[in-house]
């Protein structure tokens, strides 16, 4: 049965109990005082029960008038949780990589990750409370009125607090982003980005989970290769020239530098355009779209030009690749692989293509050599199959020394990265832990005060 209906029936019962106590021919003042109280409570509960819809609508109007939006608030907290989770994962990946070159770096990274985890838990708590209030404001309010409706004010205070909690949090909780922004953001402070991260996909929307990226700064200074982990990249930028100078980002694999959607751009301006001002930790997300490349893995890449209508990779191993290509115009498929691979056979639609008839060229990729084979793809749907043999004695990836040198070049001579990160972590702890605690405490105090106003009563005394 609906709690409001039960509360309404209890108000009727309370009314009759009050009338009954009024009519008792017993001169006990402690008992007789309950008569008018019960009758007053009955009318009060009946009014609350019948007008709850109006009360909630008024609360909703006050929330909108104050500038609170549940959709924006939930999106803000949810995106912060996702953002924090990604940062923790990226730092974990970074720890695994740097530990190869810098023993003991895990302890330093743990100093950064632990406060971020605390921040993540604080936001998860905030999101849990918000979900309960947003989805259950009617249920909480109804239960509050039901507890208040129990005769003799047995649970009146608890019910009043539950009703007040539901209304106050429903009105004020969506105002948290504004409260948060007051503590965090100042328009006079320029954007600083010690960390840039994002995902990498090809022109078909497929994730690129392996490979290296490189940077060309001011068209005269190339930095790479920087390895990828999964389909995400993470970069510390403490060198000011990366923010003030035009930068071109490439996907650097198998002797080729593939252009991306970030060509000759200012990262500072891109972050100002893309970054949601509600995000913090001075981190900027920039997603990378690689042009021409289909995929890369373990020293083998496939790229195509011009772009075809559709393509899918059915099998991609160190010995066999099977690709389906649907093209409305003539195109070329490029198969680039390091010398550790020996191409045994290439077929298109079941017909073998002689290797010596294919156009090919050779290239250097840091300390590796390799070759690229070009297959002419006519219009229509075609199946390309590549059979290879891998020599496990030869390297298929560039030496880690190149990656280590590239990562060093990402830092300025006066590197204050760790200090900057600690400063930002301190701000996170303050904003996410202190600010959220302050806001929840403030709303709880208001709820308690409103509950005392709604359900305030003296100590229950039945008999003198």
The share of the chain scoring above pLDDT 70, in percent, equals 80
Range name among 68-82, 358-372, 416-430 with the lowest pLDDT average = 416-430
pLDDT at 142 > cutoff 90: yes
> Over the chain, what is the mean pLDDT?
81
Together in a domain, 32 and 129: yes
273-283 pLDDT, tens digit per residue, is: 654 444 444 56
393-423 pLDDT, tens digit per residue, is: 888 989 888 887 777 676 554 445 555 556 6
Half-sphere exposure of 6 (CA within 13 A, CB side): 12
300-315 pLDDT, tens digit per residue, is: 999 998 888 888 888 8
Answer with the one of 342, 369, 390 that is the final residue of a domain. Answer: 390
Together in a domain, 303 and 351: yes
For residues 211 and 108, the model is more confident at 211
443 in a structural domain: yes
Together in a domain, 107 and 156: yes
Residue 204: per-residue pLDDT: 86
Q: Mean per-residue pLDDT for 248-266?
A: 89
CB 72 within 8 A of CB 172: no
Together in a domain, 120 and 19: yes
DSSP calls for 269-333: HHHHHHS-TT--SSEEE--EEESSEEEEETTEEEEEESPPSEEEEEEE-SSEEEEEEEESS-EEE
Residue 357: per-residue pLDDT: 82
**CATH assignment at residue 351:** 2.60.40
Together in a domain, 329 and 434: no
Q: 77: part of which helix (H) or strand (E)?
A: helix 70-98
Together in a domain, 49 and 139: yes
- Crossing angle of helices 436-455 and 105-149, rounded to 10°: 10
pTM of the model as a whole: 0.56
pLDDT at 1 > cutoff 50: no
Answer with the one of 342, 370, 390 that is the final residue of a domain. Answer: 390
Answer with the one of 338, 373, 390 that is the final residue of a domain. Answer: 390
Q: Mean per-residue pLDDT for 131-152?
A: 92
CB 35 within 8 A of CB 463: no
Together in a domain, 365 and 438: no
Q: Mean per-residue pLDDT for 372-401?
A: 90
Residue 29: per-residue pLDDT: 64
pLDDT at 195 > cutoff 90: no
Together in a domain, 162 and 20: yes
Range name among 25-39, 133-147, 450-464 with the lowest pLDDT average = 450-464
216-238 pLDDT, tens digit per residue, is: 876 567 888 888 866 666 665 55
Together in a domain, 14 and 64: yes
84 in a structural domain: no
234 in a structural domain: no
200 in a structural domain: no
Together in a domain, 111 and 177: yes
Residue 276: per-residue pLDDT: 47
pLDDT at 253 > cutoff 70: yes
Together in a domain, 303 and 436: no
Domain count within the chain = 2
CB 200 within 8 A of CB 231: yes
84-140 pLDDT, tens digit per residue, is: 787 787 777 777 666 666 666 667 677 777 777 888 888 888 999 999 999 999 999
322 in a structural domain: yes
Q: Which domain holds residue 51?
A: 3-69+103-185+425-455
CA dist 331 → 295, 353, 377, 408, 423 (Å) = 17, 16, 5, 40, 52
Residue 49: per-residue pLDDT: 92
Together in a domain, 375 and 437: no
pLDDT at 155 > cutoff 70: yes
What band does 385 get if pLDDT is binned at 50, 70 and 90? very high
């Amino acid at each position: 049965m609906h709690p409001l209906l039960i509360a309404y029936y209890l108000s009727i019962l309370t009314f009759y109990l009050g009338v009954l106590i009024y009519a008792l021919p017993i001169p006990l003042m402690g008992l007789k005082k309950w008569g008018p109280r019960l009758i007053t409570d009955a009318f009060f509960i009946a009014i609350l029960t019948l007008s709850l819809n109006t009360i909630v609508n008024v609360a909703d109007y006050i929330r909108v008038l104050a500038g609170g939006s549940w959709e924006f608030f939930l999106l803000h907290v949810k995106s912060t949780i996702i953002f924090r989770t990604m940062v923790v994962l990226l730092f974990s990946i970074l720890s695994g990589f740097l530990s190869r070159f810098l023993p003991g770096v895990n302890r330093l990274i743990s100093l950064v990750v632990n406060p971020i985890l605390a921040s993540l838990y604080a936001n998860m708590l905030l999101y849990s409370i918000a979900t309960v209030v947003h989805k259950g404001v009617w249920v909480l309010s109804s239960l509050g009125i039901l507890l208040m409706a129990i005769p003799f004010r047995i649970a009146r205070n608890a019910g009043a607090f539950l009703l007040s909690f539901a209304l106050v949090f429903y009105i004020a909780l969506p105002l948290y982003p504004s409260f948060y922004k007051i503590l965090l953001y100042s328009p006079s402070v320029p954007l600083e980005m010690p960390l840039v991260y994002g995902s990498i996909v090809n022109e078909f929307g497929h994730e690129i989970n392996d490979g290296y990226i490189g940077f060309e700064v001011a068209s005269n200074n190339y930095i790479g290769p920087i390895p990828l982990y999964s389909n995400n990249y993470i970069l510390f930028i403490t060198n000011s020239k990366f923010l003030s100078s035009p930068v071109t980002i490439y996907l650097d694999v198998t002797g080729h530098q593939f252009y991306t959607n970030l060509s000759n751009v200012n990262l500072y301006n891109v972050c100002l355009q893309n970054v949601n001002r509600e995000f913090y930790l001075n981190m900027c997300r920039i997603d990378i779209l690689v042009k021409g490349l289909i995929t890369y893995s373990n020293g083998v890449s496939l790229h195509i030009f011009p772009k075809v209508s559709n393509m899918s990779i059915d099998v991609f191993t160190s010995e066999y690749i099977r690709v389906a290509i649907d093209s409305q115009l003539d195109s070329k498929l490029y198969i680039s692989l390091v010398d550790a691979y020996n191409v045994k056979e290439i077929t298109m639609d079941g017909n073998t293509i002689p290797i010596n008839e294919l156009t090919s060229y050779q290239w250097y990729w840091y300390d590796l050599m390799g070759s690229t084979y070009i297959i002419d793809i006519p219009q229509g749907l075609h199946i390309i199959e590549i059979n290879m043999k891998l020599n496990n004695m030869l390297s298929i990836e560039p030496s880690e020394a190149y990656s280590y040198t590239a990562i060093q070049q990402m830092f300025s001579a006066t590197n204050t990265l760790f200090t900057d990160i600690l400063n930002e972590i301190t701000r996170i702890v303050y904003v996410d832990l202190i600010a959220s605690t302050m806001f929840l405490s403030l709303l709880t105090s208001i709820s308690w005060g409103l509950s005392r106003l709604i359900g305030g009563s003296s100590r229950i005394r039945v008999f003198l």
